[in-house]
């Protein structure tokens, strides 16, 4: 639901722009309002599950997300939509890490958990592409609103199923890390906002001041965590080299993947001239082998080890990106876009699951939510910071790319 909605919005933006009267500058905030609260509240949402009970927080997060989705689908103004997109981001910040934490505490470490995480990663990876397809079809044939309203029956069914099938985890007594929660939330929000702004307005004084403030707050957060009795992000999570490496690798890999979705969507619509529905369908090759590959990952890891699987997955991704970068005006879709997309699907299937498993490896059940939060923070930094950096780089050379305009970046105001 979380990943699907992010992709549905991308293909629905032109019609959202027209129906709700967004300015070009305001349209960028349809994504940014969500991203800001999602990234800002991730650590708080993750630790809340450890302390208050993970099933309880899963239900809370799903309820917030579902209610916000319905409100977005019923939007009659841009202000209303942006407000509820921010609230939806809060629901996601609770839901995403709690879901992964529940997998950790439900399945024992080893092959059983690897299999569960593989399916979890496959669902997330495929949803990004399926969202583009579904979003394009809905925007063209029905309405972008349906993509949000459909979350109501799904959300109700999921909450009911959670109450029946998921066992509640024990509450943890003690004090809540209030100062850690405040500094992490403000620091992450400022960090994400700074890079969002850099993609929209460039590296001006406000952008630099925001990023400096973020670094100061996150530095204060680390100092607070060192002395906190029950830290919101235990620094002991980073004492394990495998977990730390997985967080760093996830930031870089997700930066590449978000660039793939963003720039390929622009290419298909602005250069190849495809309608939103066809542009969405054009991403189908990226899903063809993703799930089958993700399903066999546990067997591959058992036979070859986690690191070789990761290395092969990333090398395939590098080859695919290099191949896709050759697409230009008049390029054949099947050879220039579809075939490298197939390789990208294989790369995601081989890479995301091992990165997730390594990010929560050998973590005590009491810290399951915090570790899941760290995985999601790495993912969010890759999405927001990575995209901001890539758009800034692309804008430098955009004069040499005929026909391409970069929608969150211009010399005056963001373009749709």
Q: pLDDT higher for 43 or 393?
A: 43
Mean pLDDT (whole number) for 216-236: 88
- Predicted confidence (pLDDT) at residue 409 exceeds the cutoff of 60: no
Distance separating alpha carbons of residues 349 and 379, to the nearest angstrom: 16
Predicted TM-score (pTM) of the model is 0.77
Domains of the chain in sequence order = 2-400 (1.20.1250.20)
Whether residue 403 is predicted with pLDDT greater than 60 in this model: the reply is: no
Poorest-pLDDT segment among 1-10, 58-67, 182-191, 405-414:
405-414
Angle between helices 54-73 and 78-106 (to 10 degrees): 150
pLDDT at 98: 92
User: Which of residues 203 and 27 earns the better pLDDT score?
Assistant: 203
pLDDT digits (tens, 9 = 90+) for 143-185: 778 878 888 999 999 999 999 999 887 777 656 777 888 888 8
What band does 275 get if pLDDT is binned at 50, 70 and 90? confident
Name residue, tokens 């916000």: 68
Q: Residue 156: what pLDDT?
A: 96
Residue 400 has pLDDT above 80, yes or no: no
Residue 209, helix vs strand vs coil: helix
Over residues 374-380, the mean pLDDT reads 84
3-state secondary structure of 169: coil
* Mean pLDDT, residues 275-280 taken together: 74
Predicted confidence (pLDDT) at residue 54 exceeds the cutoff of 80: yes
Contact present, 66 and 155 (Cβ < 8 Å): yes
- Token representation of residue 125: 């990876």
Q: What is the pLDDT of residue 407?
A: 45
Question: Across residues 388-404, what is the average pLDDT?
Answer: 60
CA 251 to mean position of chain CA atoms: 11
Segment 130-151, tens digit of pLDDT: 766 776 677 667 777 887 888 8
Tell me 400's DSSP state: G
């Amino acid at each position: 639901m979380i990943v699907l909605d992010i992709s549905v919005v991308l293909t629905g933006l032109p019609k959202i722009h027209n129906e709700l009267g967004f300015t070009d500058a305001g349209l960028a905030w349809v994504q940014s309002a969500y991203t800001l609260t999602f990234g800002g509240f991730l650590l708080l949402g993750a630790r809340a599950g450890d302390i208050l009970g993970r099933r309880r927080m899963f239900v809370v997060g799903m309820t917030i997300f579902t209610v916000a989705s319905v409100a977005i689908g019923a939007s009659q103004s841009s202000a209303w939509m942006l407000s509820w997109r921010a609230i939806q981001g809060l629901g996601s910040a609770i839901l995403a890490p709690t879901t992964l934490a529940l997998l950790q505490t439900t399945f024992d470490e080893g092959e059983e958990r690897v299999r569960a995480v593989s399916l979890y990663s496959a669902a997330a990876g495929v949803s990004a592409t399926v969202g583009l397809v579904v979003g394009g079809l809905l925007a063209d044939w029905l309405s972008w609103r349906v993509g949000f309203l459909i979350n109501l029956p799904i959300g109700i069914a999921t909450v009911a199923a959670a109450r029946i099938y998921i066992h509640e985890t024990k509450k943890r007594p003690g004090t809540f890390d209030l100062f850690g929660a405040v500094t992490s939330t403000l620091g992450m929000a400022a960090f994400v906002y700074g890079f969002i702004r850099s993609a929209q307005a460039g590296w001006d004084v406000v952008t630099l001041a925001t990023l400096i403030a973020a670094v100061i707050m996150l530095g204060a957060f680390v100092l607070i965590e060192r002395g906190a009795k029950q830290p919101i992000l235990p620094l002991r999570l980073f004492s394990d080299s495998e977990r730390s490496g997985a967080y760093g690798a996830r930031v870089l890999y997700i930066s590449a993947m978000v660039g793939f979705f963003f720039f390929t969507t622009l290419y298909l619509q602005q250069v190849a001239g495809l309608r939103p529905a066809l542009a969405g369908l054009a991403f189908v090759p990226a899903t063809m082998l993703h799930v089958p590959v993700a399903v066999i990952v546990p067997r591959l890891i058992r036979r070859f080890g986690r690191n070789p699987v990761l290395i092969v997955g990333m090398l395939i991704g590098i080859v695919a990106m290099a191949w896709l970068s050759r697409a230009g005006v008049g390029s054949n879709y099947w050879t220039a876009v579809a075939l490298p997309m197939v390789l990208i699907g294989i790369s995601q299937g081989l890479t995301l699951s091992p990165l997730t498993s390594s990010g929560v490896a050998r973590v005590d059940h009491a810290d399951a939510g915090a570790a899941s939060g760290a995985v999601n923070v790495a993912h969010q930094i890759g999405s927001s910071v990575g995209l901001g950096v890539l758009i800034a780089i692309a804008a430098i050379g955009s004069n040499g790319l005929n026909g391409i305009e970069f929608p969150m970046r211009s010399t005056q105001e963001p373009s749709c």
